[in-house]
Amino acid sequence: MKRIIDACLEQTIKFEPKEDYEKYKKDLERKNTKYRILEEKADGEDSVIIKIKKQYNSYDCGNYLD
């Protein structure tokens, strides 16, 4: 039998328009999802690209986000 101990994701996400990015962060906070923004850069006038590490489902992240 195998059991997942820690699970996190690293993603690159593009948000168009920028307001969607703020909604996304508020949603992560509302769901109590642990996350860390690694990089954030503007992509044109009305879009943002981020690199994020975040908790997967409700699994523990261990020291992945440290």
Phi (first) and psi of residue 9, to 5 degrees? -120, 150
User: Residue 40 to residues 7, 26, 53, 57, 63: CA-CA distances in angstroms?
Assistant: 23, 16, 12, 23, 22
User: Residue 56 to residues 16, 25, 31, 38, 53: CA-CA distances in angstroms?
Assistant: 23, 15, 12, 16, 9
Query: What confidence score (pLDDT) does residue 27 get?
Result: 97
Walk along the chain (66 residues) in steps of 10 and give the mean pLDDT of each run: 89 96 96 94 94 90 83
Specify the pTM.
Answer: 0.84
